[in-house]
Amino acid sequence: MDDFRIHIGDWVETGVDWIRDNMKWLTDFISDVVGFLTEGLADLLLAPPALLMIVLFAAIAWLVRSWQLAVGTVVMFLLILGIDQWDTSMQTLALVLIAALVTVAISVPLGIWAARNDRVSTILRPVLDFMQTMPSLVYLIPAMVFFGLGFVPGVVATVIFALPPGVRLTELGIRGVDSETVEAGYAFGAQPRQILTGIQLPLAMPTIMAGVNQVIMLALSMSVIAGMAGAPGLGKEVVSALQTIDIAKGVEAGLGVVFIAVYLDRVTAALGNPGDYKSSLLGALNRRRDAQRRAEAATKVRVPASVETR
């Protein structure tokens, strides 16, 4: 039994080497596109003055959630600016947003496909289990082999790590739609695509947005690990602090991650139920619109009554 050995690692290494040697055109294309998007977004976030961006972030928070979150956003981002982590925070935010967008673009269609096809769901389930339980650091190794150092391996590893909850919650949301509602749609002659876009997706949107929220949170947690691959941002600061045992630097970079996580968590959670928060601007607009509709409906009811009395 001492000689018993299954060389799975060697087989995977051989496969990675083959992809690196024979599919360089694909890895170069991915590297160029992801690098352009992430670096471009980071430059865009850093182009305006920091105070202007803080006001913009607070306005978004007030629009979708509440004025309390807007005030908290101002406080949190002023603290980031005060501890001199603004540039690294915007780089991390760019990495997380690009990784989350790519992940959602892949996970939502896969989740819809799995929800509408039991065979696809059966095949995807063990694959997603494997992706979700594999230690996140392992994903950095082939990513660094294919894409070198920088933003790109961090984004690629983050996408792989954050993909499973997006697929699972999308499938759960679609399958959770009331079957009687779907049958009623078919009874009125709706096509499968119309059922999906007009009934299933709107009703499943809160669950899908919960998946998007989980994707963003996992992307943020992975952004620190991506710092080991040389990805600029707060993750790189944390890794540097770990290497030099710099407690102050590590705490400040960690606070930057926490503040960004709190902001993104609250905003994306609110996007799952837009307009439902009473102190949000969207909520105020929805209430005003509903009041106008009720007033118009009441006017339409009163007019025939007055005509009859005449």
Domains by residue range for the chain, with CATH? 34-282 (1.10.3720.10)
What per-residue confidence (pLDDT) applies to 26? 81
Q: Could you give the CA distance from residue 303 to residue 173 in angstroms, rounded to a whole number?
A: 44
Q: Which is more confidently placed, 272 or 194?
A: 194
Mean pLDDT score, 277-295: 67
Q: pLDDT tens digits for 258-284?
A: 899 889 888 888 776 655 666 666 666
Q: Could you give the CA distance from residue 228 to residue 241 in angstroms, rounded to a whole number?
A: 12
Consecutive H or E run containing 5: none
What per-residue confidence (pLDDT) applies to 75? 93
User: Residue 63 corresponds to which tokens in the numbers above?
Assistant: 């629009």
What per-residue confidence (pLDDT) applies to 79? 92
Torsion angle of the four alpha carbons 290, 294, 300, 304, in this order, in degrees rounded to the nearest 10? 170
Q: Could you give the CA distance from residue 151 to residue 92 in angstroms, rounded to a whole number?
A: 10
Sign of the Cα pseudo-torsion (122, 132, 159, 162, in order): positive
